[in-house]
Amino acid sequence: AQKITQTQPGMFVQEKEAVTLDCTYDTSDPSYGLFWYKQPSSGEMIFLIYQGSYDQQNATEGRYSLNFQKARKSANLVISASQLGDSAMYFCAMRSSGGGADGLTFGKGTHLIIQP
């Protein structure tokens, strides 16, 4: 069974600061993918960034980057130069590449609030 743990239920960060959202995971599958989604107060789920378990480099997408430490089973999301619009729930999720693993397993999320 897969498990995602997000230990920060809420975070307050000053605008323009960098922020790191923690995510640790547990799986016995050798091949898997890690995803981060943003959920603003309006409720939709927005895909942010992906990291494959065999990727040699950490993923980056604009202001988002993923600090992937495979041996520690962590995949922390780093948001650089935070903006007020970054205030939202952030979910870490994973999926294995094997059969019968279609659905994403989500963590409980971190509520990020950016303060001016």
Partner 1 sequence: EPEVTQTPSHQVTQMGQEVILRCVPISNHLYFYWYRQILGQKVEFLVSFYNNEISEKSEIFDDQFSVERPDGSNFTLKIRSTKLEDSAMYFCASSFGLLLPNEQFFGPGTRLTVL
Question: Which amino acid is located at 76 in the chain?
Answer: N
Phi and psi (nearest 5°) for 42? Answer: -70, -15
Binding of residue 32 to partner 1 (CB under 8 A): yes
**76 touching partner 1, by CB under 8 A:** no
Give the span between the Cα atoms of 29 and 17, in whole angstroms: 36
Does residue number 65 form part of the binding site for partner 1 (CB under 8 A)? no
Q: Which stretch binds partner 1 (CB under 8 A): 14-22, 28-36, 67-75, 78-86?
A: 28-36
Among 1, 28, 41, 43, binds partner 1 (CB under 8 A): 43
62 lies in the site for partner 1, by CB under 8 A: no
Compute the least distance from the CB of residue 55 to partner 1, in Å.
10
CB atoms within 10 A of CB 36: 25
For residue 8, how many other CB atoms are within 10 A of its CB? 16
Task: DSSP letter for 80, please.
Answer: S
- What is the Cα–Cα distance from 54 to 97, expressed in whole angstroms? 11
DSSP type of residue 29: -
Least separation in angstroms between residue 49's CB and partner 1 is 9
Among 22, 50, 63, 74, binds partner 1 (CB under 8 A): 50
Q: Binding residues for partner 1, per CB under 8 A?
A: 31-33, 35, 37, 42-47, 50, 52, 91, 93, 95, 97, 100-109
